[in-house]
Amino acid sequence: MLAMKICLLTTLLLAGVRCMKDSLFVYSQLGGDAVLPCTKLNSSHCSFVSWTFYKEGLVRYTYEVSGGRVSADSDKSNRTSIMSNCSLALSGLQVNDAGSYSCLEHKEEVTNVYLSLLTVTSPSSIMELRPGGTLVLSCLLFTYYDPGSCKPYSTSLFKLSWRSEVGAVLQGDRHQLMERSRCKVTLITTLQADDHGRRWRCQVDATNSNIAEFMDFRSTFWSEPAHRDPDLNRSEVTECSAPPPISRMVLCAALPLMVVTVGLFTWRLDRRKARAAAPAGFRLQEIS
């Protein structure tokens, strides 16, 4: 009986060890790069390693790496590479890259990696980027579920915040924070003159890591085009006016000549008509 209990306990322990796998949370930003680690490998040969990808919102399950090689059928094959330690490297991250990745050795999962991507958007127009204008910045985390969707057990894993370019938490009367969820935080601030060229930082802090991921937005003020002096414009036109074209000069010279020619032709024609109409014995004479 004791032997059976020991055997059963040993079986359960072995089963527990066999099912043990790491769950890692990786954060990056849109357009950036990310390395997804593959831990607890029994072999250093990546030919036994595969990577799968699952996106809950798209209900998609694909093989990104099979037998240590990037799958040609993957939609991110040109941005994916397998490292010497069998980790998965992604570059040029896109929205659809956020999701759940699994590293398998001999077709058994050893590591689950959950990739979330950070982005900053602003509905403010360029005309509002001036002292006294209102700047609205929304920080959104594309999680391994859906954009801006935070599952109950995931909210304790990270925290979003708006900070200055040196990492200080933004506070004060002119900074308002609107938190729709733990995955989306909006900053509303009234711009001042010294905010020109300032960087506003959205930062995600992971509770299980000392590494923080952030994304900056730079507020460059819009400036109106300088108005020119109308008097200066007139003087420039007067001094820099172009000479009349040659065609206009020829027309001005030829027009008087044409008038004289037509007048002379008309006068001669009228005189011939008058001679033909004169009565017999009467003769027109030219008065010199």
pLDDT over threshold 70, residue 119? yes
| pLDDT the model gives residue 22 | 79
Average pLDDT over residues 231-248: 42
| pLDDT the model gives residue 249 | 55
Look at residues 189, 240, 238, 242 and name the one whose alpha carbon lies nearest to residue 217.
Answer: 189
Q: Worst-scoring range by mean pLDDT, 43-47, 58-62, 250-254? A: 250-254
pLDDT (tens digit, 9 = 90+) per residue, 248-268?
555 556 666 665 565 666 656
- Banded pLDDT at 55 (limits 50, 70, 90): confident
- Banded pLDDT at 57 (limits 50, 70, 90): low
CATH 2.60.40.10 fits 122-219, yes or no: yes
- Banded pLDDT at 143 (limits 50, 70, 90): confident
Q: Select the highest-mean-pLDDT range: 63-72, 122-131, 199-208, 211-220.
A: 63-72
Q: What is the 3-state secondary structure (H, E, C) of the chain?
A: CHHHHHHHHHHHHHHHHHHCCEEEEEEEECCCCEEECCCCCCCCCHHHEEEEEEECCCCEEEEEEECCEECCCCCCHHHEEECCCCCEEECCCCHHHCEEEEEEECCEEEEEEEEEEEEEECCCCHHHCCCCCEEEEEEEEECCCCECCCCCCCCCCEEEEEECCCCCECCCCCEEEEEEECCEEEEEEECCHHHCCEEEEEEEEECCCCCEEEEEEEECCCCCCCCCCHHHHHHHHHHCCCCCCHHHHHHHHHHHHHHHHHHHHHHHHHHHHHHHHCCCCCCCCCCC
| pLDDT the model gives residue 285 | 38
* Separation of alpha carbons 65 and 131, rounded Å: 51
- pTM, two decimals, is 0.66
What φ, ψ does residue 231 adopt, rounded to 5°? -65, -40
Q: Is 196 exposed, middle or buried (0-12, 13-18, 19+ CB in 10 A)?
A: middle
Residues of the chain with CATH 2.60.40.10: 22-117, 122-219
| pLDDT the model gives residue 81 | 95
* Separation of alpha carbons 241 and 222, rounded Å: 34
Q: Which residues contact 248 (CB under 8 A, 6 or more apart)?
A: none
CATH number for the domain formed by residue range(s) 22-117 = 2.60.40.10
Rounded percentage of the chain residues whose pLDDT exceeds 70: 62
* Separation of alpha carbons 167 and 176, rounded Å: 17
Average pLDDT over residues 119-124: 90
Average pLDDT along the chain: 75
pLDDT over threshold 50, residue 17? no
pLDDT over threshold 60, residue 235? no
Average pLDDT over residues 132-157: 75
